[in-house]
Amino acid sequence: MESLWVPLAAAIAIAVTALATGWAQSKIGASIAASLAEKPELRTTAVLMIAIPETMVVLGFVIAVLILLRVG
Amino acid sequence: MIIKMARIRVLGPRAMLGATVRALQDRGVVHLIDGAPLEGLRRCDLDPIGRRRRRNVMRALGDVEAALDGLHQLGASVADHGGPPPPEARAARLAGRLAAEVGRLRSREQALRDERDQLAAYEPLFADLDELVRAGATRQVSIFLLRLRSAAALDALRAALERALGDAVELRAHALASGEAVLLLLVPATRAQDIERILSEARVERAPLPPVLANTPLADALPRMRPRLAEVVRELHRLRDDAAALARVHGDDLSRARRGFHDALLALDAEDHAAASARAFVLEGWLPVRDRDELVRACATAVGPEIAVEEIAQDEWRGDDAPVVLANPPLFAPFEVLSSLLPLPRYGTVDPTPFVAMFFPMLFGVVVGDVGYGVAIAVLAVVLRLATPRARDLARIAGAIAIYTILFGVLYGELFGDLGTRWFGMSPLWFDRREAVLGFLMLAIALGLVHLVLGLGIAAASRWRRDRREAIGRGLTAIMMLLVAVALLALFQRVPAGLLTPAVIALLVALPIVVVLEGATALLDFMTILGHVLSYARVMALGTASVMLAIVANRMHGAFGSAAIGIAFALVFHLVNFAITLFSPTLHVMRLHYVEFFGTFFEPGGGPYRPLRHWSPEAAGQPRS
C-alpha cells in the first residue's frame, strides 16, 4: 500500500503547486500585458512579476523529491 | 562600481556665458542642473535675439532632417566625413534649398511609383492588347477595361454576360497577386449600351487609367500603356540618380550641418540652466571627480582667467541628487547589460554589476553543467562575436557562461547527458546529479545561503556610513541566517549535534535585537530571506530536468527500428533541450539575482548622467551612461 501512497503524495505536492503557479501567472500575465501596452518600459518588472509565483512549483518539486526519497 | 562625483559651480562675466557653455560642451563631462537659488541671481532666460536664434536653428534643423530623411527614402546614402559644421547662415540656406528640392523629388517619385503600380496591374493584358492593336480590332469593337475587387466575382460576371450576349462577347481576364482581377471586354459596338447596363447593375467599375492617359480615348490609350510603363521605370531610375547626385554633392555638408544645429540647440538649452545677474552668470553641474582638474584647466584655456570653477562642498549637497555613472573593469563591464535591466542604483550605494558578473555565469554553470552544451554555447558566443560586432557584450557573457558550464560538466561527469560516460568512460569528479538528487538540492540551497548572506554583508557595509542602526541590523540578519544553517546542519547531524543548542540560543538573542534595530518588519524580512534561500532550490530542479532530458535524448537512439531515425530524433531532442537550456536557466538565474539577491542590498533611484556634449547620431538615443 505504501508503494502507492508515496508516489501519489509526491504527485499531489507538485500538481497542486503547479496549478497554483499557473493560476497566479495567468492573473499576473494578463495584468502585466495590459500594463506593458501603456508602459513598455515596465518589461523588466513584467518578467520579474511573472517569475515570482514560480517559487511555489519549485518548492512543490523539492517537497516531491523529499517525499520520494523519504527524507526524515 | 559607481564613480565618485563632484558638484561644481562655474562663475564668470555674463558676456562670457555662451563661450563658457561651448567650452563645457567641448569637454563633454559636466551634467548641468538648475542650481540652488542665490541672492541677486535669477534664471537666465534667453533674450529676444537668443529666442529668435533658437527658432531659426530649429527651423533649419527641421530642413536638414527633412532633406536627409528624403534622400534616405530615395535610396541615396549620405556620407559624413567629420569635420567642423559649416557656418549657421550658409547651412540654413543650403538646408532650406535642399529640403525643397528633395521634397519635390519625393513627390515626383511617389507619383511615378503610383503610376507604375497602376500600369503594372494591367501588364498581364499587354500581350492581348498588342494582339488586338495589330489586328485593328480596337477600331471595330467597343472595349471595356475593368478591374474586379475579387477574382471570385469574375465567374458571376462571365455568366451574366453570356446570358445577355451569348457568343458576341469576348472576355480576357487575369488574376492579380492582390486577389483582384483585371479584365478586357470586347463586344460589338452595337451592344455597347447593353454592356453598360449590365456592368452598372453588377456595380463593376471601369479600371482607372494613369493621369497622363486619363483624357485619352481607351482605344488610343491601350496601345500606349506598355511604352508608358517602360518610360515610368526609366524616369524613376533617373530620379534616384538625381537624388544620389544630390547626396554626393551635399550629403557631407548636410550631415555636418545637422551636428552643428544639434550642438547649437544643446548649448542654448544649457544656457537655460544658468542663473545670472546683469553682469555675471553661475552654472552648476555634476562631473566625475577624476575630470574636475582637467575641466578647470580647459575652461581657463578656452575662455579665459575670468572664469572660476569651484567645487561645492559635500555637506552642501545630497547624494540622492547626484547622477550615477557606472564604470567596471573590462571583465565585469559586459554584465552591465544585465544590471541595466533594473533602474540605476542610487548614488553612494553599491553597483551590483561585479556581483552579477561573478554569480550569474556560475549559477548558470551549476544548472546546466554539461561539457557538450558548454562547448555549443562557446561556439554560439564566437559566432555572435564575429557575426554582430554590436553584440560584443552578449558574446562575452555567453563566453563566461560556457566556461562555467564546461567546468561543472567536468565536475558532474556529463557530456550531452550520459553520452560521455557511455562513449568515453567519463566519471564525475564531484558527484553524479542523476544519483545524488538530495546532495544537489543541498548544494543549491547552500549556494543560495552564501549568495544572500553576501548580499546582507554588502548591505551592512554600504549602509555603515549613512545609518549605523540599519547596517548593524543587516549584519545581524546575515549572522542569523548562518545560525539557522548551523542549527539545521546540527539537526541532521552534518556538524556536531552539540552546536544545535548554542546556535538556537544565539538566534533567540539576535532576533529581538534586530527587531529593536530595524522595527517589527525585520521579523517578516528575516522570514522572507529564509524563503528566498529555499527559492534557490530551482537551481537543482532545473539542473535535474536538464540532465534527464539529455539522457532521454540519448535513449532515443535505440528506441526506433532504424539507427538513422533514432539518431535524427536524438539530435532533434538534444537541440530542443539546448534551446530550453539557453532560455530557462537564464531567466531563472536572472530572477534569482533580481528578486532574491538584489532584494538584500540594492537601492534603486539613481539619476542618469547626461553631460553636455557634442551631438552624435549614436549617442542621440542613449540616456543611460
- Mutation target vs B (from A50, A55, A69, A70; most B CBs, 10 A cutoff): A55
Q: What is the DSSP letter of B415?
A: B
d(CA B615, CA B558): 63
**Closest chain A CA to residue B531:** A55
| pLDDT of B137 strictly over 70 | no
Cell numbers that stand for B74 in this block: 530615395
**B133 pLDDT more than 90:** no
Tens-place pLDDT, residues B573-600:
889 889 888 888 998 899 899 889 999 9
Interface test with A, best of B433, B494, B546, B591 (most A CBs within 10 A): B591
B279-316: b (≥16 Cβ within 10 Å) or e? ebbbbbbbbbeebbeebbebbeeebeeebebeeeeeee
The whole-angstrom separation of Cα B194 and Cα B397 is: 76
Which amino acid is it at B404? Y
A57: which residues sit within 8 A by CB, 6+ positions away? A14, A17, A18, A20, A21
- Is the pLDDT score of B622 beyond 50? no
Do A62 and B537 lie within an 8 Å CB cutoff?
yes
CA angle, corner B387, sides to B383 and B389, nearest 5? 110
Yes or no, beta carbons of A54 and B538 under 8 Å apart:
yes
* Cβ density class B345-354: b for 16+ within 10 Å, e for less: bbbbbbbbbb
- Predicted-complex ipTM score: 0.75
CA torsion angle B366 B371 B373 B378 (round to 10): 100
Mean pLDDT of chain A: 85
| Closest chain A C-alpha to B342 CA, distance in angstroms | 7
Q: What is the pTM of this model?
A: 0.75
CA–CA separation, B52 and B101 (whole Å): 26
- Check CB contact under 8 Å for B540 and A62: yes
d(CA B557, CA B572): 11
* Alpha carbon B103 to its chain's center: 31
If pLDDT is split at 50, 70 and 90, which confidence band does B624 have? Answer: very low
Interface of B with A in 579-598 (CB under 8 A): 587-588, 590-591, 594-595
Query: How far off is chain A from B517, nearest CA to CA, in Å?
Result: 29
Instruction: Say whether B342 and A54 touch across the interface (CB within 8 A).
Output: no
Q: Which residues 533-552 on chain B approach chain A with CB closer than 8 angstroms?
A: 534-535, 537-538, 540-541
E-state strands within B123-212: 141-148, 170-175, 181-188
Contact between residue B122 and residue B151 where contact means Cβ atoms under 8 Å apart = no
Q: What does R_g of chain B's alpha carbons equal in angstroms?
A: 37
Q: How many CB pairs under 8 A join A and B?
A: 43
- Kindly determine whether residue B541 and residue A52, on different chains, have CB atoms separated by under 8 Å: no
DSSP-derived secondary structure for B51-93: HHHHHHHHHHHHHHHHHHHHHHHTT--------PPPPHHHHHH
Confidence band for A71, pLDDT divided at 50, 70 and 90? low
